[in-house]
Amino acid sequence: MADLTPTRLAQRPQLSEEVADHVRTRIMSGEVRPGDFIRLDETAAALGVSVTPVREALLTLRGEGLVDLVPRRGYLVSPMSRKDIEDIFWLQAELSKRIIDRAITRFDAESLNFHATLIDDFESASAAGDADGVVRAQYAIHRSINRTSQSDKLSRFLSNAARYMPYRLYAEDPVWRENALKDNRRMLNALREGDVATAHQVVDAEFSGGARLLIEHLERAGIWDDDDNAATSTGEPAGAATS
């Protein structure tokens, strides 16, 4: 299980976004289950912030379909099926392949060399077991491709979809890190050779594997027990009040 120990956050303009990211990670990693309430006071105290950014964060997550508002009771975690997970990763794969199609013709020797250094950074962080470093390096690798593609809107859509991924869950998994390094190397070779087919294969492998790992993790966490499945099939959040 990823280390999700709350970190006290300093006051700054994007505070509600950081709170949203914290709560989103707890949901997507299975630390909180569908039907669990997200308490404003408890979350604010854990993060060392006021209730206001927590409330703003929960409004954001409600818009993303991750929490529901129950009148007079607060926010609770929405149901999420295996198919939902698959769809999130499918969307990322399709957007990524579109971006790759545009980026692969724009990489030159300088940008390819820079991309290679980012992969070296990933390898170093992985070898050191530095999960935060792995997250930063993998983000930089994807950002390199996105920026080279010159597809700002697609990159923003992809960034929004990627928010659902609990990155530390992956970064702390040695097997995932090993496979990710191989995928990053294969992608670099594909970019150098202008090999779109292989680049697409790498993207599909990355996101299908990511979906599988997350689903297996959530299954072990007991997210989809019989009660949850019954609640999901009726369209009611598990644990929600009924009239």
For residue 163, name the pLDDT band (cuts at 50, 70, 90): confident
Average pLDDT estimate for 28-47 = 92
More confident residue, 175 or 234: 175
Sequence ranges of the domains in the chain: 15-80+224-233, 82-220
Which helix (H) or strand (E) covers residue 37, if one does? strand 37-38
The CATH class, in words, for 15-80+224-233 is mainly alpha
Instruction: Give the C-alpha separation, 10 to 47, whole Å.
Output: 9
pLDDT tens for each residue of 40-54: 999 999 999 999 999
Q: What is the pTM of this model?
A: 0.81
For residue 107, what pLDDT is reported?
97
The two structure tokens encoding residue 65: 């379909």
CATH number of 82-220: 1.20.120.530
- Reply yes or no on whether the pLDDT at 31 is more than 60: yes
Q: The sheet that has 67-70: what strands, in order across it?
A: 37-38, 74-77, 67-70
